[in-house]
Structure 1
């Protein structure tokens, strides 16, 4: 029996012993997932969020407001529905509208989505009006305090650019929904995919390509610097990130830069994120970019958009790892379409059509980019 099977059995035993509720502990500031321990009859659902604060519920939550952008779709994947979402960030809503989650769960598109500004400052009165059992928010004190001062219960999340943070989010969401076994299921699968990607990277000889990820492009350049999830997966697949290399960008997170800096780096691959409308053709048509290696060799790609944007961390991140591995080290025929179909059955109980897969992978928008035909239907 695998360790994942043991974890799942332990979680289920704890649920049974707790009379329908489970006591969870250990999801602390380190970002590690909570470990289940049997509780007495009628035990509370209890865990520590990533601020180190203990969160308790006397029953599974029914109404959740999510402010961090990945949180809404992640909660849907954990829950298997959008029924417990009461309100979401506008950027989460646009991802559902423009991606496939709104097709799978159309009720999600009816959710209130003006609960916070673009920089996650909460609209406290709007949130209170939704009468949530809990609000999910980034753990910065200035973002959490207004909600707590209004008498709202808040779970604080952190994103240090590690898969462990995603695991912790899933564990907390599963716990508060009364579905701790779901966290074990999702972690077991992502661990399997992580091991597969790591094995593939270790089997390759020689350095991989330099890969630059743009979080913003159309209205001013921002690239993934240190302590970003994008830097993590670029290196995971065997690539290098010039923004964290010998001539790194200062600071952490998404950092602004100019074209001259990109020309100095001369990246071999450029990734365009899903936070604006930039497409590969925009770079191919612009003479400013024509001397960049990635543009000359037509290795500019729009990152897929599925149940959520694949560029930030989330429930579909393992699919991003496989997609990026095939971008960095092209194959004659990628296995990503099959991976997406498998994952969507597990995450959403949904079987994507060929048209769905083309939309998710931006096959038309990436059609002019090198080796992208590997992602077409066989």
Structure 2
């Protein structure tokens, strides 16, 4: 909650508040592969081949100072959202992997990180080249809230700030419990909803087996893709018509905007289109739709989209407190509008609840 966040929040526009490392000696970290990773001490240079990780590490550290390499997709998100405003150096970070997560070993050798964070559930093709080059690898797994909490814990260990990791995990769990309690009190029918991506005339969506399934259920929505199986998630307009979602949330990983959906005659009779309930998902420190340090903000945003006015107009204050706590940054009202994609969502049904 806001009060708990404010206890650790800074008070200037960009504070480089740092903590003394909890440990100054050697570290032994067990990653999500079950591998023990030995470090000489808290890392001073960390490279991330995986996309959501740098913003989470920055939230743990309240700084970008240790991050030396990132994924190409992360660089795009940094430049397009708030991250480069909070941490200007993040817009110039070296790229150490692309969308396939194959590491650029030559760049890693130039950067000489103390540790590299890579997916640990995609086989040795993406981890072995890093280890062969002599760098310790912390392997991650993806898909659940528990995975996210383990990422936070691992990054806190890497940074030598275990207490900070516990604070952030406790905050996420508190917000999770409060959201479940709020949804349990809802007396209106659960809206049918979905995540949608668009590339040209082709649509794709997400599986309920992953984090989206968890999030939609958590915030009180029925995810219409239950039981849906498709190559690369591709979905036809006819299938979307059959599902007839009441709310559509557009992916932050492509350039699709609500106007594109409204303009597609193939979707004209979909409930979300007819009632102007198509929304571009927020972009804060990272794209909110995937697991991140900001996930509780995504849960709240989703819940208020589904049930307008559910949190009594406090959301902007909660965003402000969250950015202060996570990133040591005092976000302005104009920047909150940017995070919430007001330029794209301002005319959508119910979006007035987020106005300043």
TM-score, structure 1 as length reference: 0.84
Please give the root-mean-square deviation of Cα atoms over the aligned residues, in Å: 1.9
1:124 to 102, 105, 110: 105
Judge conservation of contact 1:213–1:270 (CA < 8 Å) in 2.
Answer: yes
Residues 108-159 of structure 1: CA deviation (Å, up to 9, x unaligned): 222112x112121222222222111111111111221222222221111111
The alpha-carbon deviation at position 184 of structure 1 amounts to: 1.1
* Distance in 2 (alpha carbons) for counterparts of 1:21 and 1:98: 34
Q: Distance in 1 between matches of 2:309 and 2:319?
A: 17
Equivalence for 1:266: 244
Distance between the aligned counterparts of 1:279 and 1:255, measured in 2?
19
2:34 to 26, 39, 52: 52
Q: Does residue 1:217 correspond to 2:195, yes or no?
A: no
Deviation at 1:60, TM superposition (A): 0.6
**Greater than 4 Å deviation, 4+ residue runs:** 19-22
Residues 204-237 of structure 1 deviation map (CA, whole Å, 9 limit, x = unaligned): 12431111112x3124322110332121111001
Match 2:286 to one of 301, 305, 308: 308
Distance between the aligned counterparts of 1:291 and 1:280, measured in 2?
15
Q: Is the 8 A contact 2:22 2:162 kept in 1?
A: no
CA distance in structure 2 between the partners assigned to 1:106 and 1:117 by the alignment: 21
Question: Who is 2:165 aligned against?
Answer: 183
CA separation in 1, counterparts of 2:236 and 2:230?
15
- Superposed CA deviations along residues 182-212 of structure 1, whole A, max 9, x for unmatched, are 1011112111211111111000124311111
Distance 1:134 1:349, change over 3 A: same
1:368 aligned residue:
347
RCO greater where, 1 or 2, for CA within 8 Å and sep 6 or more? 2
How many residues get paired?
Answer: 334
Question: Which residue does the alignment assign to 2:10?
Answer: none
Is the Cα contact below 8 Å between 1:60 and 1:178 reproduced in 2?
Answer: yes
Quick check: 2:25–2:41 contact (8 Å CA) kept in 1? no
1:138 equivalent to 2:119? Answer yes
Map of 1:1-378 to 2, 5 A cutoff?
22=23, 44-113=26-95, 115-139=96-120, 140-141=122-123, 142-160=125-143, 162-214=144-196, 216-219=197-200, 220-244=202-226, 248-250=227-229, 255-331=233-309, 334-377=313-356
**Alignment partners' CA distance in 1, 2:21 and 2:294:** 29
Q: Distance in 1 between matches of 2:321 and 2:85?
A: 18
What CA distance in whole angstroms lies between the structure 2 residues aligned with 1:143 and 1:261?
Answer: 36
TM-score by length of 2: 0.89
Q: Distance in 2 between matches of 1:251 and 1:195?
A: 33
Q: CA deviation at 1:107?
A: 1.6
Deviation at 1:286, TM superposition (A): 1.8
- Aligned match of 2:7: none
